[in-house]
Each structure stands twice: as C-alpha cells, then as structure tokens.
Amino acid sequence: MNFKAIAIAAAAAAAATSAQAADLPADIAPVDYVRINDAYGAGFFVLPGTETAIKIGGRIRVEAKINNLTEDEDYGNDKNNQNFRARANLRVDTRTQSELGLIRTYADFQFTSDTDKRGNEGVKLDKGYVQIGGFTFGRATSAFDLWTGNLSSNVFDRHMSDDTVWQASYTHALANGLTLAASIEDNSDRQHDIIGGDKAGNTVPSFVAKAQINQGWGWAGLSGAVTKVDSPDADSSEVGYGIAAGFGVNLDMVGPGDVFNFQAAYADGAMAYVGADDTGDAVVVGNELETNKAWAIAAGYKHNWTSEFSSGLEGSYLDVEAGEETATFKDFNEVVVAGTLEYRPVSGLLFSAGAGWKQKDEDGSSKEDAATLNFRVERSF
C-alpha cells in the first residue's frame, strides 16, 4: 500500500469518528432515583430532587361487636345487640433536616363507616401537625396524656385521659431519658356539660405541663393541666384542673415485650382528665357554679406468649363526687375490666377478640352492669 492510499484511509476514518461524536450528546444528565433513608426508621425514602424523607403507611380495621349481654342493656351501650365498623387510616410522615433543626410534618386521615352511625361518617383528620425542633403546632396527642392502654380491641373505655387536641407545645429533652413539656391546648373537646345550665363558649385555652422519664426499665411521668369552667347561667367562672401520675415496668424476664402499667389521676371541674367522658364538669346551684370532683386509677398487663400470640388485661376504677347532687346527677363510682387475645400470623396482620364488663353504682340507685364482646381483623402497612 502506497503513502497516498494510507492518507486517504486515515482521513476517512477521522471523518467517520467526527460524525459519530457529533451525534452523541455533549453531556448526559445524571438520573436521580428514589433513595431509601433509614435514618428515621424503616419505610422512609427520599423524594427525587429534595432532601425530604417521607413515609406513607396506614391500616384497615374491620370489627364486629356484640352488645347488651346483661339485663341493663341501656347502660353505656348502644341499643343494637350488634354493630359493625370498618375504619381506614392513611398516614403521611415527612422529615427534613434544616438550619432550625429537624422539621417534621405528620398527617393521619381517618375514614370510618359504622352501623351505629347509619353509614359513612366521612373523613376525619385524626392528627395533623408540624414539628420544628422541640415545638409542635397542630392537632396532636395532648401533652397531659401518660398511659392510654395497650389492648388491641377497645371494648370499653378505661378511665384515663386519651385525647387529641389542637395545641402549641414545646418538649425539651434532658439527659438520661428525661423530657419536660409545656403546652397551650384548645379545650373544646375536653369541655363537658354543665348540669342545670349551659356551658360557655371556648374563651381561654388550657395550660398543660408534663415531666416524663423513659429508660430501659420502663417509664414514669407526672402531668398537670389548668382550664376554665364557665356557664352563662352562673355569676362567675371557676378554675378547673387535673393531675396525673403513672409508671410502666418492662417485664422481659417474664416474656419478651411484657409490660405492666399503672396510673392515678384527680380532677376538679375537668372530668376529661380522669377519663370520665359522660360526666358533667360542674353543677349550677342558684347562680353559683359548683365543680364536680373525681379520682381514678387504672392498671394493665400485656403478655406475649409467643411471637404470634399475646394477651392483655386492663381495669380501672372511677369515683365521682357531685358539686351538688340533683335529681338526675348524684355521686357514683364505676369499675371497668377488659381483656383481649391477639394472634399475629404474619407481620402487619392482626386477629383479636376482646371482652369487657363495667358496673356503675350511683347513690340512691341500684347497680347497673354492661358487658360486650368484640372481634377485629386489622391489616397495617
């Protein structure tokens, strides 16, 4: 091959290479994939183009309830001998690190259909809040609440505070698992009726404080709240308050995950803080407002027989002293006992059966009993 032929071949190869290079993009943009982020726990992922970790989850719960197993069928129970309920929760949790610290948003949307309500109750924002560092703004569990029960089937409410409220709160974490919290809370959901009069509107928020310690052995806490009790039928308002103290002990030596909980509470003019949900806060006597007073204790034990089978037993006692006894409202006490059996064949799937009994003993009246059974299937994701 002579020099001229070699030169022609080289020129042709160079031209072909240049043409192919011109056809290629100058720069390939990197692909931003969804990334797993387990810094906040399992299930979080990072949205493409952001630094926000998000988790989407929820549960579907279906249950059947058998009521009126005693002669006092109207006591604290629906007149239906059975009722059914389906409930779905959709939960969205986001976390973002910022110059202000961790910014978290949380929303729990609840959908319920209940035969007691004769159809669909619609959509409810059970919880919805923004957390910036130690501050919480929105609808969240009350800072007052300590232990709220461990049973999977809530056949009867035990006497303990368990409320979700609108709030602005601050929680400060100290050493060794100790936290201090202060909260300004809307008391609309905690205001109960005024016996012999109307209750006033919501004019002043409640003020709540709590100290709690969480360690390997368990937990202990003390909380208090101050609120306003008012009626347009009384000349002046009163100050209501509630205090609660409790503890929980982990009993892993008995069974992995076993726990015993106990708490006691006292309330004056603020019955929600002892879980006396069907009791008025005060009585109008003449033009005066006489607050009702109550104390309650509650305890429970949760035992895990195996990784699949568990059971729980809880009980509570409530004692109410009327500010002034009337024809329709008198001093009374009430006891509640409830238990559940639970089976979890696979992760996120629960079958449970619950039974409950309660008795009310009111001055001047015979004792009233109520009993119920509950069967539930629940899938969490």
Domain harbouring 105, CATH code: 2.40.160.10
Structural domain span for residue 277: 54-380
Q: For residue 44, is it within any domain?
A: no
Q: For residue 45, is it within any domain?
A: no
Please give the pLDDT value at position 11. Answer: 47
When divided into structural domains, the chain yields a total of 1
Burial label, 358 (beta-carbon count in 10 A; 0-12, 13-18, 19+)? buried
Q: For residue 8, is it within any domain?
A: no
C-alpha 358: how far from chain center: 23
pLDDT greater at residue 311 or residue 68:
311
Instruction: Give which of 339, 187, 336, 152 is closest to 273, Cα–Cα.
Output: 187
Please provide the average confidence, as pLDDT, over all residues in the chain.
89
Assess contact for 296 and 279: CB atoms under 8 A. Answer: no
pLDDT greater at residue 104 or residue 49:
104
Please give the pLDDT value at position 178. Answer: 98
Considering the chain, what percentage of its residues have pLDDT values greater than 90? 70
Please give the pLDDT value at position 46. Answer: 93
Q: For residue 32, is it within any domain?
A: no
Q: For residue 6, is it within any domain?
A: no
Q: First vs last Cα of the chain: how many Å apart?
A: 74
CA–CA separation, 272 and 40 (whole Å): 34
Please give the helix or strand (H or E) that residue 354 lies within, else none: strand 349-362
The pair of three-digit structure tokens given for residue 345, joined into one six-digit string: 């064949």
Considering the chain, what percentage of its residues have pLDDT values greater than 70? 88
Q: For residue 375, is it within any domain?
A: yes
Q: Is 81 left (phi over 0), alpha (psi -120 to 50) or beta?
A: alpha
pLDDT per residue as tens digits for the range 105-124 = 999 999 999 887 655 667 89
Residue 13 has pLDDT above 80, yes or no: no
The position carrying tokens 């929760």 is 89
CA–CA separation, 373 and 371 (whole Å): 7
Please give the pLDDT value at position 82. Answer: 85
pLDDT per residue as tens digits for the range 140-178 = 999 999 999 999 987 899 999 999 999 999 999 999 999
Q: For residue 183, is it within any domain?
A: yes
Instruction: Give which of 308, 307, 369, 299 is closest to 339, Cα–Cα.
Output: 299
Q: For residue 250, is it within any domain?
A: yes
The pair of three-digit structure tokens given for residue 211, joined into one six-digit string: 């100290």
